[in-house]
Amino acid sequence: MFIEGATKDRSSTIRSECVSGLGQIGPATFRTLLLVLHDGDHTVREAASNAIVKNMTPQTVDDAFAESNVRYQRQSILCSVREIMTANERQNFTLLSAALTSFLSRLTDVLEAGVENVHNNGQPSHQ
């Protein structure tokens, strides 16, 4: 219900409230919150940013996608995060908050290490 409200409702107030609810559910909702960062309304994007920063850490997001049945989603999340960071740098939409930019940067580092680890068949990287 929150996902549909956050992504499809016409009212920005409803979308913002649903986004806050998704944040409270936790890191399993991170992918949806990433999508909402593209919302046309600044208040909805801000609500998504706050929901991520207040309710998650890069490690809890990584942990939420560590199980073998969802591990494949890490690469998709990493691509989405990079896209958002690039759009932010190009200022295609209102700049992300400093807190969210820092969060996404740290998450990128965590996810890159995890993706590299999967490519090495679970063996640590030797650099």
Burial class (CB in 10 A: 0-12, 13-18, 19+), 40: exposed
Rounded to the nearest integer, the mean pLDDT of the chain is 88
Residue 69 has a pLDDT of 85
Examine residue 26 and state whether it is found in any structural domain, yes or no.
yes
Examine residue 126 and state whether it is found in any structural domain, yes or no.
no
Residue 77 has a pLDDT of 95
Look at the chain and report how many structural domains it folds into: 1
Examine residue 41 and state whether it is found in any structural domain, yes or no.
yes
Examine residue 34 and state whether it is found in any structural domain, yes or no.
yes
- Phi/psi for 16 (5° steps) reads -65, -45
3-state secondary structure the chain: CHHHHHHHCCCHHHHHHHHHHHHHHCHHHHHHHHHHCCCCCHHHHHHHHHHHHHHCCHHHHHHHCCCCCCCCHHHHHHHHHHHHHHHHHHCCCCCCCHHHHHHHHHHHHHHHHHHHHHHCCCCCCCC
| Structural domain boundaries enclosing 76 | 2-119
Examine residue 127 and state whether it is found in any structural domain, yes or no.
no
Examine residue 125 and state whether it is found in any structural domain, yes or no.
no
Examine residue 112 and state whether it is found in any structural domain, yes or no.
yes
Nearest to 31 by CA among 88, 86, 87, 70: 70
Write the pLDDT tens digit of every residue in 42-98. 999 999 999 999 999 999 999 999 888 888 899 999 999 999 998 888 875 556 888
Confidence grade of residue 123 (pLDDT, cut at 50, 70, 90): very low
Examine residue 69 and state whether it is found in any structural domain, yes or no.
yes
What is the radius of gyration, based on Cα positions, of the chain? 15
